[in-house]
Structure 1
């Protein structure tokens, strides 16, 4: 009898664990031998030399000065992009030179390589690799920001590249199928340069191109928008109106996307620069994208209230406009008509809503004050504690109850 009870209890536990996994996409991870190597003021190159394939190199905040060859599949993560600085001291020919595939480099400030344009010095370069990711890098005072050479499926996400001597991003020698998303290219002679017609089929969208002498040079076949309603890029020299909406920009009403394409490349150019707001919930980061003519002071997400609050600044008496893209996993409604957008807890704002499989897009205008608060309320919000956690707790309670009942019955049988 006791074997049947124990078997039944274990069966219940297993069933509930798999139910939790099914409903929450919970992933069971087998931990391997990969290690995390900490660099605190020492040599990043030495850490790479001592690392094994797949290791993580975590670099503490501080000032570093070296040229680094990445010849292993490792992840190199800075503690803080603004405070983890690698300086070329005006003499380095490169800061990161990547010759291994599947590398990740994230959270650094990279600056001051050899200033001579004829040196073609760069902050980050790749050579004959695939699946390399560069994320949250601040790059300034170099000749070339990213030099992508004979490399495919490179991901360039969420970087700031400013004041380069030649190009913020150069793709050359048949570098194809790369993805350039959520970056800021500002005050560069040329933001993106395709050096040959074989460097093609890259996706370039949700970037802000501001005050560059040339935004894009080269005539290879590449793609500068992500379709509608996701949109394309912001170009500071684009002056088209925003009076229409829709995939053909021929429907009545503004949507935060300009009515004319940018040079025939970008079909859906944004009216205002694009900012990425990271919302942490239960150990996961959700990205909310905002294109607005107001300044963004901060935002607050409240899962219990199912609300996202934007705190914006601007010039009183002007008209503010905002196009916001919200992940459905974070906040959603069953119908586009169910959203509630209010200004400073009082005025209900009229909005234009659209959606795709993963995101909802809202556009609205408002009377700008020096400081305003805009609350966006949905119907469904990601829980503060994920379902898998609650189901695992329930599983544990039920399992403990079964064991308790079993031993209680056994005790009563043996001693009565």
Structure 2
């Protein structure tokens, strides 16, 4: 009897093992109606990580995510695009985990998410990755915002990042683009490069609130730092043992010091301006005046550039410090209008014929504006109107076949500025219509006799 029982149990165990070995258990169950979608396979998943882990999800696939809150810590180890499905932005909440999103693959795109609650660590970590892109995301409630560790050729574009310590940190990373981000740090540094990070472009970002540095470079070379708004940071720019970096058109308005250089290894060769007439940086503590212009600042009349250089160190200087805040406006896909002014500039518009914008400042003070207009947009002799009144301007000697430089001053208040060519077709049409109306009135007068 015992032998029979043993034989039956043995056969049952054998059949069970055969069933286990032969049954194909799916890695991730996909069902219709779930909030995460693989666009390429048309399969739906309950979580973002399920969609990534699915055997059907391959490199090059796009995963769309519905609105809602996803309590996940995600690892992306495939070359995928992760995108928001709806205008109502989905949220990835790390629940206070070490890292909310870890990326170990190349060619990863993340766009349109709220990413939060990596309070003990990092919102997004790239570890030895290439050619990734993060755009239009909102990151907050993390000790570190975005960290690139030995990661190259990656773009961070138009993200809103609020961090307790480092908002953007690059370590031993090259050829990355950090462009157009709004960055607020509650304690640490806005954008930090270290460990030999080189050939990166840091352009058009706004960094505020740092108790340390808006932008910090430590042992870094050949980086471009341009057109950044660095407001209300203890230091706008802080460089340690960094050389051969190009730094211009940054607006430095700091609570302690605009520029701080600390060299242990005596690296001091950095470029602090873009030559004349492009200029250097705006420093809130610059004490020079602007009575002269030209590449040697020996021509009569102001040009929006300080008459004397701004000294960075004993042997380093910005040769062409800006007298006002630098603005660059994309008016077409190919051309920008650039303004240096001590006024607040708003609502700049180019309608194909004229450039218009608003200026404002403290009532009673004197404002100035230096505007650079590509001649392909407006060419010829210009007319400048403030609140409809034609004013006198100075066409600077640096004007050439590709760019015109106009300089004018005014009394501050909120006013409109319009710049048109002297014989623009807009003015011609107005004159023509007025002429036609006059002729009709004259003829009617003659017919009445």
TM-score under structure 2 length normalisation:
0.65
Return the match for 1:144 from 153, 166, 189: 189
Secondary structure at the counterpart of residue 355 of structure 1: coil
**Equivalent in the alignment of 2:323:** 271
Q: How does 1:137-216 map to 2 (within 5 A)?
A: 137-140=181-184, 141-149=186-194, 150-173=196-219, 175-196=220-241, 199-216=242-259
The structure carrying a bigger strand percent of its residues is 2
Secondary structure at the counterpart of residue 50 of structure 1: coil
Return the match for 1:73 from 122, 125, 130: 130
Return the match for 1:247 from 295, 300, 303: 295
- For the residues of structure 1 that align with 2:392 and 2:64, how far apart are their CA atoms? 50
Seen in structure 2, the aligned counterparts of structure 1 residues 340 and 131 have a Cα distance that, compared at 3 Å, is same
| Equivalences, count | 323
- For the residues of structure 1 that align with 2:172 and 2:403, how far apart are their CA atoms? 35
Report the Cα offset of residue 42 of structure 1. 5.2
Return the match for 2:366 from 319, 325, 341: 319
Unaligned runs of 5+ in 2: 1-58, 81-104, 425-449
Tell me whether 1:62 sits opposite 2:114 in the alignment.
yes
The structure carrying a bigger helix percent of its residues is 1
**Equivalent in the alignment of 1:109:** 160
Give the root-mean-square deviation of aligned CA atoms: 2.9
- For the residues of structure 1 that align with 2:71 and 2:270, how far apart are their CA atoms? 38
**Equivalent in the alignment of 1:122:** 166
TM-score under structure 1 length normalisation:
0.70
Q: Is the CA contact 1:88–1:95 (under 8 Å) kept in the aligned structure 2?
A: no
**Equivalent in the alignment of 2:428:** none
Secondary structure at the counterpart of residue 348 of structure 2: strand
Seen in structure 2, the aligned counterparts of structure 1 residues 48 and 233 have a Cα distance that, compared at 3 Å, is farther
Return the match for 2:392 from 346, 349, 352: 349
Q: How does 1:81-100 map to 2 (within 5 A)?
A: 84-89=137-142, 92-100=143-151
Report the Cα offset of residue 54 of structure 1. 6.7
Q: Is the CA contact 2:135–2:157 (under 8 Å) kept in the aligned structure 1?
A: yes
Q: Is the CA contact 1:37–1:57 (under 8 Å) kept in the aligned structure 2?
A: no
Report the Cα offset of residue 77 of structure 1. 3.6
Seen in structure 2, the aligned counterparts of structure 1 residues 357 and 104 have a Cα distance that, compared at 3 Å, is farther
Report the Cα offset of residue 233 of structure 1. 0.6
Report the Cα offset of residue 170 of structure 1. 1.8
Of structures 1 and 2, the one with the larger relative CO (CA 8 A, separation 6+) is 1
**Equivalent in the alignment of 1:133:** 177
Report the Cα offset of residue 46 of structure 1. 3.9
**Equivalent in the alignment of 1:224:** 272
Seen in structure 2, the aligned counterparts of structure 1 residues 47 and 322 have a Cα distance that, compared at 3 Å, is farther
Seen in structure 2, the aligned counterparts of structure 1 residues 37 and 324 have a Cα distance that, compared at 3 Å, is farther
- For the residues of structure 1 that align with 2:288 and 2:394, how far apart are their CA atoms? 22
Report the Cα offset of residue 374 of structure 1. 1.2
Report the Cα offset of residue 351 of structure 1. 2.1
- For the residues of structure 1 that align with 2:422 and 2:225, how far apart are their CA atoms? 33
Return the match for 2:336 from 287, 302, 310: 287
- For the residues of structure 2 that align with 1:63 and 1:47, how far apart are their CA atoms? 14
Q: Is the CA contact 1:158–1:184 (under 8 Å) kept in the aligned structure 2?
A: yes
Return the match for 2:79 from 41, 51, 57: 51
Return the match for 1:310 from 348, 354, 357: 357
- For the residues of structure 1 that align with 2:260 and 2:416, how far apart are their CA atoms? 40
Return the match for 2:349 from 261, 284, 300: 300
- For the residues of structure 2 that align with 1:44 and 1:108, how far apart are their CA atoms? 21
- For the residues of structure 2 that align with 1:61 and 1:227, how far apart are their CA atoms? 40
Report the Cα offset of residue 96 of structure 1. 2.7
What does the per-residue CA deviation read over 1:246-287, in whole Å, with 9 as the maximum and x for residues that have no partner?
A: 0011110111111111115111111111223232x4xx2643
